[in-house]
Chain A
Amino acid sequence: MKRALVIGATGFLGLNVVDALQARGVAVRATWRKKSITVFAQKRRPEWRLAELDDLAAMEDAMRGCDVVFFAAGHYPRYSLDARAAIERGRADVRAVCTAAMRAEVPRVIYTSSIGTLDGSVEGPVNEDDRTPEPPLESVYRATKWAMEEEVDVALARGLDVVTILPGACLGPWDVRLGTTGVLVALLNHALPWWVDGVVNVADVRDVANAHVAAAEMAPRGARYCFGGHATTMRVLFEQMCARWALPFPAEELDASSARERADAEEREAAPRRGRVPMPRELVDLVTWGRRVDSSRAALELGVVARDHWTTLEDARRWLERMGHVPKTLPNTMPTTVPSTMPTTVPKTMRASRAEGASDEVDERGRSSATCARDDRGAVGDRRRVGAG
C-alpha cells in the first residue's frame, strides 16, 4: 500500500487512521467538506481533496490512484429521533462511496461499521458471524448501521472489494466532536445526570485504526472483523474511573426503559439548538444491547489486540484537558500510562496463542480476564488522588 484515501480524515477515527498510515510510510490523501474541522488534520499534511460524499465526480477523482480507500465517515445519526431519515441517509452515503470506488477502480475499501449490527440474542460473546438477520428497528443507530452494511453487501455482490471493521465504543485522543467521549466529559465535570448499566466494549481508537490498516494489507476480500476492545460493565467502568480520579459516582441509575425515554426526551430538547446530550440514545442502545464482543479474529488474522484500557482512558482524559473540555489535573503521583503486558501489534508467531488469551471474558465484577491482572496491579494507584484542577 503506497497511497490511501481517508474519507473522514478530519474526524475521530479518521485522524487516527491517518496517523497509523503515516507511521507505516503510506502517502495519505484526505477528503474535506466546507464545514470540516481541518485544523488538526492539516498538521499531518495530507494531500487534500474537497469532496462531499454525494459528489460522485469529486469523490471518484479523489479515489483515483489510491490503493485503498478508508471509509470512516459513514453516517452517524447525532440524534435517534428520525429512523427513516437516518437509514436513508446512511444507505445513500454507502451507495455513493461504493459507486465512486467502483468507477475509480479502487482495489480495496475498508468500511467502518459498528458492533451494533450484531445479534444480541445469541448465547455467549458475539462475533463477526453473528449478524442480526433483521434490522434492529428498536434502535435508530443500530438499524442505520445495519442498513449501511446491507449496502456494503450489495457493493460486494457487484464486485467491489470491501473489508468491514466493527469497532466497539471508541475512546482515545482526537475525538473532535465528542462522540462516545462525551460521557467521559460529563463524568469528569461531575455533570452526568443519569446512567444505565449494561455491558460496554471500550475500544482504543488507535487500536481500531491499526486494525483498519492491517485489514487493508492482510484481510481476504469481504472479511469482517470485530474490535470490541475491553469488555466490562458501565457500573464497573464508572466505579473504576471514580475511584482512580476521585470523582463522585453518578447518582441516578435508570433501568433500560426509563433510560431510553430519558435519552429521547433530552435529544428532542437538544436537537433544535444542535446540542449534544451526555448520554445519547445510541449509547443507551449499545449498553442495554449489552453483549460481550469476541475480537479474537482481529487478533489472530490482523495481529491487533486491545491495549490496556487505562492507557486509553488516561490518554483520552489528557486530550480532553488540552482541549479545555475538562479541568486540568494536578501533577500526577502515579504513572498515567499503565504499561501493557501485551503489545498492540502481535508478532506473527505469537498470534494464535495471544488470540486465545484475548478472549476478554467478563468476570463477576465485569472485568476482562485478559486485563484483570493489570487492573489489580493498578489497584494501589486507584486509591491515590489525581487532583482535579
Chain B
Amino acid sequence: MRETIAELLEIDVASVRGEQLLREDLGMDSLTSLELLSTLSREMKVDLEMEDAMEIVTVDDTVRFVERHLAC
C-alpha cells in the first residue's frame, strides 16, 4: 500500500509512513484521492463509493480499509 501511495504521489516510498495524514502530510489532493480509490477498487475488484474515501485519512487508514474489504 505504501508503494501504491508513493507511486500516485510520485514520491519516494521511504518517505511514506503509517501515521501520516494523506492530505496534510503527503499533499494528496481530491483528484489523487480519487486515483487512490480507483486503484483500490481495481486491485480489490470491488465497487467503492465516494463516501468510502471520506474515512481514509492516514496511510494506516488505507491499509485498514483494504484489510476490511478483503475480509468481506
B residues 16-72 in Cβ contact with A at 8 Å: 30-31, 34-35, 37-38, 41-42, 47-48, 50, 54
The answer to whether B34 touches A39, judged by C-beta atoms less than 8 angstroms apart, is: yes
Q: How far apart are A35's CB and chain B's nearest CB, in angstroms?
A: 6
B11 contacts the other chain (Cβ, under 8 Å)?
no
Q: Mark A156-195, 1 if CB is under 8 A from B, else 0.
A: 0000000000000000000011000000000000000000
The answer to whether A39 touches B8, judged by C-beta atoms less than 8 angstroms apart, is: no
Report Cα–Cα, A42/B48, bound state, in Å.
9
Q: How far apart are A139's CB and chain B's nearest CB, in angstroms?
A: 25
The one of A35, A39, A42, A325 that contacts B30, using a Cβ cutoff of 8 Å: A325
Report Cα–Cα, A324/B41, bound state, in Å.
20
The one of A35, A39, A43, A322 that contacts B37, using a Cβ cutoff of 8 Å: A39
Which residue on B lies nearest to A45, using beta carbons?
Answer: B47
User: Which residues of B lie under 8 Å from residue A322 when comparing CB positions?
Assistant: 50
A258 contacts the other chain (Cβ, under 8 Å)?
no
A37 contacts the other chain (Cβ, under 8 Å)?
yes
| A42-B41, A325-B30 known; A37 vs B35 contact (CB < 8 Å) | yes
User: Which residues of A lie under 8 Å from residue B48 when comparing CB positions?
Assistant: 39
A residues 185-237 in Cβ contact with B at 8 Å: none
| A38-B42, A176-B34 known; A323 vs B8 contact (CB < 8 Å) | no
User: Which residues of A lie under 8 Å from residue B35 when comparing CB positions?
Assistant: 35-37
User: Which residues of A lie under 8 Å from residue B37 when comparing CB positions?
Assistant: 37, 39
The answer to whether A38 touches B50, judged by C-beta atoms less than 8 angstroms apart, is: no
User: Which residues of A lie under 8 Å from residue B8 when comparing CB positions?
Assistant: 35
Report Cα–Cα, A181/B34, bound state, in Å.
17
The one of B31, B38, B42, B47 that contacts A177, using a Cβ cutoff of 8 Å: B31
Which residue on B lies nearest to A48, using beta carbons?
Answer: B42
Which residue on B lies nearest to A275, using beta carbons?
Answer: B29
The answer to whether B34 touches A37, judged by C-beta atoms less than 8 angstroms apart, is: yes
Which residue on A lies nearest to B8, using beta carbons?
Answer: A35
| A177-B31, A325-B30 known; A38 vs B38 contact (CB < 8 Å) | yes
User: Which residues of B lie under 8 Å from residue A10 when comparing CB positions?
Assistant: 38
User: Which residues of A lie under 8 Å from residue B30 when comparing CB positions?
Assistant: 323-325
Q: How far apart are B3's CB and chain A's nearest CB, in angstroms?
A: 13
Report Cα–Cα, A166/B56, bound state, in Å.
40
| A177-B31, A325-B30 known; A37 vs B38 contact (CB < 8 Å) | yes
User: Which residues of A lie under 8 Å from residue B42 when comparing CB positions?
Assistant: 38, 42
Report Cα–Cα, A324/B37, bound state, in Å.
15
The one of A35, A38, A176, A177 that contacts B41, using a Cβ cutoff of 8 Å: A38
Which residue on B lies nearest to A37, using beta carbons?
Answer: B34
The answer to whether A39 touches B31, judged by C-beta atoms less than 8 angstroms apart, is: no
Which residue on B lies nearest to A325, using beta carbons?
Answer: B30
| A38-B38, A38-B41, A38-B42 known; A43 vs B31 contact (CB < 8 Å) | no
Report Cα–Cα, A4/B31, bound state, in Å.
27
Report Cα–Cα, A322/B54, bound state, in Å.
12
The one of B38, B41, B47, B50 that contacts A323, using a Cβ cutoff of 8 Å: B50
User: Which residues of B lie under 8 Å from residue A323 when comparing CB positions?
Assistant: 30, 50
Which residue on A lies nearest to B34, using beta carbons?
Answer: A37
User: Which residues of A lie under 8 Å from residue B50 when comparing CB positions?
Assistant: 39, 322-324
A residues 1-46 in Cβ contact with B at 8 Å: 10, 35-39, 42-43
Q: Mark B1-16, 1 if CB is under 8 A from A, else 0.
A: 0000000100000000
Could you list 15 examples of A-B contacts with CB < 8 Å?
A: A35-B8, A35-B35, A36-B35, A37-B37, A38-B41, A38-B42, A39-B37, A39-B41, A39-B50, A42-B38, A42-B41, A42-B42, A42-B47, A322-B50, A323-B50
Interface residues of B (CB under 8 A from A): 8, 30-31, 34-35, 37-38, 41-42, 47-48, 50, 54
Given A39-B48, A43-B47, A324-B54: 14 more A-B contacts, CB < 8 Å? A35-B8, A36-B38, A37-B34, A37-B35, A37-B37, A38-B38, A38-B41, A38-B42, A39-B34, A42-B38, A176-B31, A177-B31, A323-B50, A324-B50
Across the A-B interface, give the 5 residue pairs with the lowest CB-CB distance, nearest first: A38-B38, A39-B38, A37-B34, A39-B37, A37-B38
